[in-house]
Amino acid sequence: MADIRTEQLVKRFDTVAAVDCVSIVIPEGSLTAILGPSGCGKTTLLRCIAGLIEPDAGRILIGGRDVTHVPPFKRNLGFVFQRPAMFPHMSVYQNVAWALELRGWPKKGIKARVEEMLHLVRLEGLEGRTFRQLSGGQAQRVVIARALAPQPDVLLLDEPLSQLDAKLRDELKLEIAEIHRRTGCTTLLVTHDQGEALTIADNVLLMHQGKIMQEGSPLDLYRFPSNLFSAEFIGTNNFMPGVVKQAGARTVVQLDGTPLTVVAQRCPEGVSEGSAVWVCVRADDIDIIEEGDRARYENVVTATVERALLTGGTVIVQATVGDCKVRIHAGGSRRFGLLGSEGAAIYCGLGNVSLIARNAEAPQANS
């Protein structure tokens, strides 16, 4: 195992900075996800770390060793690509053994190591099968076993689930987490799927336009976005404009155009009394409550239902609070009573409330 560090890393393609002065630290033994939309630079960053792309500036260190100009095969990395990259003319056993033979493992130790890896990825009994005889999920597990077999310092995963159907993705992402737990290998996962990142990663780096926008635990990124991009990209957020009336551990904000105030437990850096902010509340962090339940919530607002739609087991409510449109993902036994309730006034108990400084940029949901 080893940690990964980049210092002011830059990679440009013509005039576009795909990686723009990125400095990150991936702790030894962690499972870290680089999350972001297509074209944000996350795969370019991963390939720079792997040595498949030469950066234009900055440094890459693995286990404290500067590997910026070291070829990939000398970095002791395991790499898993988007598509299951099995050798089609080899069996499952031969695919995994190949990686060990390439690294010069003693022949007498190869059989035991291959069996250990196939047990790790739950492919015992399939040693003789070829690529055409495996499902997509099984083939990708073979590739993961092959990458881990030579005991790399770091395992790099470039959207390893993107070519699988939804059911297989759900199964394999949990298997990746279990494999990490059992091996302890430092793992860096690139994905555009926030579900993958928030489900299995210890730490998430959110990337946009070549820069790291926010870093933290999945829960921190979900509950406390530090900028507008973070708030919009992860989950479904409602944005209500307001002005800070009292700043501190309990920050009080008055919503624009209404007498309503809400309280947030964190005050963003640079925000003080009089600052214009966006009050952010997740659609699934709003409870529709009875009047008698209001005392249980620090923040309660009254909303007017515009539309209620049944989507699977969830009722999606489109409503207004003052002049602001809000979206509510309603669960629980009361949700079906919202269908056909257009024009009704409802009490909304707000869960976590986060604040983002308001500038010239407006959230897409409010534009």
DSSP string, 97-139: HHHHHHTT--HHHHHHHHHHHHHHTT-TT-TT--GGGS-HHHH
- Looking at residue 286, what DSSP letter applies? E
Would 258 be classed as within a structural domain? Answer: yes
Nearest to 321 by CA among 353, 273, 296: 353
Same domain, 215 and 240: no
Please tell me whether residues 164 and 246 are part of one structural domain: no
Q: Mean pLDDT for each consecutive 10-residue tract of the chain (367 residues)?
A: 96 96 96 96 97 97 96 94 84 94 90 94 92 89 93 94 84 91 95 93 96 96 92 92 93 92 91 94 93 93 94 91 92 85 94 88 63
H-only helix segments in the chain? 42-50, 92-102, 107-120, 136-148, 166-183, 194-200, 218-223, 228-233
Domain match, 195 and 266 both: no
Last residue of a domain, one of 190, 223, 256: 223
Instruction: Please indicate, yes or no, whether residues 205 and 346 belong to a single structural domain of this protein.
Output: no
Query: Is residue 33 located within the same domain as residue 169?
Result: yes
Q: Which residues contact 14 (CB under 8 A, 6 or more apart)?
A: none
Report if pTM > 0.85.
yes
Let me know if residue 230 belongs to a domain.
no
Q: Please report whether residue 193 resides in a domain.
A: yes
Is 348 a domain residue? yes
* 162 and 252 both lie in a single domain: no
Domain containing 37 equals 4-223
Residue 155 within any structural domain of the chain: yes
**204 and 309 inside one domain:** no
Domain of 332: which CATH number? Answer: 2.40.50.100
> Within a domain: residue 367?
no
Question: What is the pLDDT at residue 367?
Answer: 44
Q: Map tokens 């576009």 to a residue.
A: 16
Retrieve residue 60's tokens: 């890459």
Residues 199 and 304 in one domain: no
Q: Among residues 193, 223, 253, which one ends one of the domains?
A: 223
Residues 49 and 152 in one domain: yes
Task: Please indicate, yes or no, whether residues 200 and 276 belong to a single structural domain of this protein.
Answer: no
Assess if residue 366 is contained within a domain.
Answer: no
Overall domain count for the chain: 2
Q: What is the CA radius of gyration of the chain?
A: 24
Question: Domain ends where: 180, 196, 223?
Answer: 223
Tell me, yes or no, whether 20 and 94 share the same domain.
Answer: yes
In a domain, 91, yes or no: yes
Looking at the structure, tell me whether residues 308 and 173 fall in a common domain: no
| Helix, strand, coil in percent for the chain, rounding step 5 | 30, 35, 35
